[in-house]
Amino acid sequence: MFIITHDLEAALICDKTAILRQGKLLEFDTPQRLISSLPSGGLVARISIENLDQKVIKTVQKFDSVKNVLRVGNETIEVLMENFENNLPKLMKYLFENDVKIYSMSRDIANFRRFFQIRIQEEEEKENEVNIYEKNSEGGIIS
């Protein structure tokens, strides 16, 4: 059975999920395998932060082992990083030191929606890099 859907929760009932972008098949595998291919097997720190804005998100991104930061709510981000168990306390300490005010933190496993967001984002970034490279090589404006 094939289900085409925008409803990412539907991945829960799927044996395999196909992710397509611009006519290309990016992934075709079980949702569990896809999620566990994320950094640290898909472990996420869900952090609620006072006055969350782009600046705070940049601060989080600057932390060395952080791989992905997803804004999942008005005041909430989900953070994926390498070597999760070791780095989570270090990340929290780093945030305190940088005056980021944390309401709460919980740990979880990423769901399929997060995998989808990350995978599509990754592809868009790759494309942007290529575009910049092409522009530079055409215009020759590289300093």
Partner 1 sequence: MGTSKSLEEVMVLVENLNVTFGENQVVNDVSFNVKQGEIIGMFGISGAGKTTIIRVLTCQIEKKNWSGNVLVTGLNPSKKKNHSKILSNIGYVPQLELLNLYFELNPMANVEVFTSTYGLDKRKAKETAEKLFKILDIPEDTWKKRVSRMSGGEKKRLSMAIGLIHNPDVLFLDEPTTLLSCLN
Q: What residues make contact with partner 1 under the rule CB under 8 A?
A: 1-8, 10-11, 13-25, 28, 31, 116, 120
Q: In the complex with partner 1, which residue's Cβ is closer, 25 or 141?
A: 25
Q: In the complex with partner 1, which residue's Cβ is closer, 31 or 39?
A: 31
3-state secondary structure at position 111: coil
Q: Shortest Cβ distance from residue 136 to partner 1 (Å)?
A: 26
Q: Shortest Cβ distance from residue 63 to partner 1 (Å)?
A: 30
CA 81 to chain centre: 10
Q: How far is CA 34 from CA 9, 42, 73, 82, 135, in A?
A: 15, 9, 23, 16, 33
Q: Shortest Cβ distance from residue 12 to partner 1 (Å)?
A: 9
Q: In the complex with partner 1, which residue's Cβ is closer, 8 or 105?
A: 8
Beta carbons of 77 and 60 less than 8 angstroms apart: yes
Q: Within 13 Å and on the Cβ side, how many CA atoms surround 141?
A: 6
- Return the structure tokens found at 88: 């989570």
Q: In the complex with partner 1, which residue's Cβ is closer, 22 or 74?
A: 22
Q: Shortest Cβ distance from residue 26 to partner 1 (Å)?
A: 8
DSSP string, 46-69: EEEETT--HHHHHHHHHSTTEEEE
